[in-house]
Amino acid sequence: MTIHRPILLIGGGGKTGSRVARRLEALGRPFRIGSRSATRVFDWKDRDSWAAAVDGAQAAYITYYPDVTVPGGVDDIDAFVRLAVDRGCRRLVFLSGRGEEDAERAEQALIGSGAEWTVVRAAWFMQNFSESFFLDGVLAGEVAFPADGVTEPFVDAEDIADVVTMALTQQGHAGKIYDVTGPRLMTFAEAVGEIGKAAGRDIRYVPVTVEDYVAALKEADVPEHYIQLLVYLAREVLDGRNESVADGVSRALGRKPRDFCDYARDAAASGVWGA
């Protein structure tokens, strides 16, 4: 009988990490959560916590909160990867971002590590509308964001979790960069429109300037570091550079990615968008 050492899931309570955890549990594969509330505490801001979390792990899924583009993110990824390899962790899977220069710099830490590595570059999550910063707007019937006319190939976090789980547990994914997106480009107005249709509610997208968006976030007491992240994403990542559909899901899994309408239908059925 094969005895597997545990897989470390950094951010195992997040949108993708929690889904990977459920998949590993279904496969009967041992894993441990790396977070500030875990039994073995892992905190990106406390490098002294890293060793205990990674010791004994055969693989690690690396996500960085709130985003690797924040100051110090790339250095933290580089330091963790070196520590993990030194501690015997031989397989590393990193959740990266499409079109983010700092994320691509962080990827180099894995590529040059000597470990079996896989990079998953993800488009904007569909779940941002049901589990993250757009949820309040959907519930209020008005999603305001500075991305008028920009198209994005929103990706389902379930697809990301399938790709990550495959890379963590199976052979054939080492040295691969999977650019994961949904099957079509959509404007934010189109995405919000599909959500309204699925939820049976009148929900509209309202384009705003970056300046007005920042003012609204500050009025709502959103933390400054989170505001800066959203501004970066709006100004840089949503500047048109990612207006393309990629084949990462089909290359990794041998099937098409889930469509936004499937996500909207299932999210609506869960009741998360109830008025």
pLDDT digit string (tens) for 244-274? 999 999 999 999 999 999 999 999 999 999 8
Q: Are 98 and 239 in contact (CB under 8 A)?
A: no
DSSP the chain: ---PPPEEEETTTSTTHHHHHHHHHHHT--EEEESTTSSS--BTTBGGGHHHHHTT-SEEEE--SS-TTSTTHHHHHHHHHHHHHHTT--EEEEEEETT-HHHHHHHHHHHTSSSEEEEEEE--BGGGGTSSTTHHHHHHTEEEES-TT-EE--B-HHHHHHHHHHHHHSSS-TTEEEEE--SS-EEHHHHHHHHHHHHTS--EEEE--HHHHHHHHHHTT--HHHHHHHHHIIIIITTTTT-S---HHHHHHSSPPPPHHHHHHHHHHHTTT--
For position 4, what pLDDT does the model report? Answer: 82
Q: 7-186+239-267 adopts what CATH topology? A: Rossmann fold (3.40.50)
pTM: 0.95
**Residue 237 predicted with pLDDT over 90:** no
Average pLDDT over all residues of the chain: 95
| Digit-coded pLDDT (tens) for 43-77 | 999 999 999 999 999 999 999 988 898 889 999 99
**Residue 194 predicted with pLDDT over 50:** yes
**Of residues 274 and 125, more confidently modeled:** 125
**Residue 159 predicted with pLDDT over 60:** yes
- pLDDT range class, residue 3, cuts 50, 70, 90: low
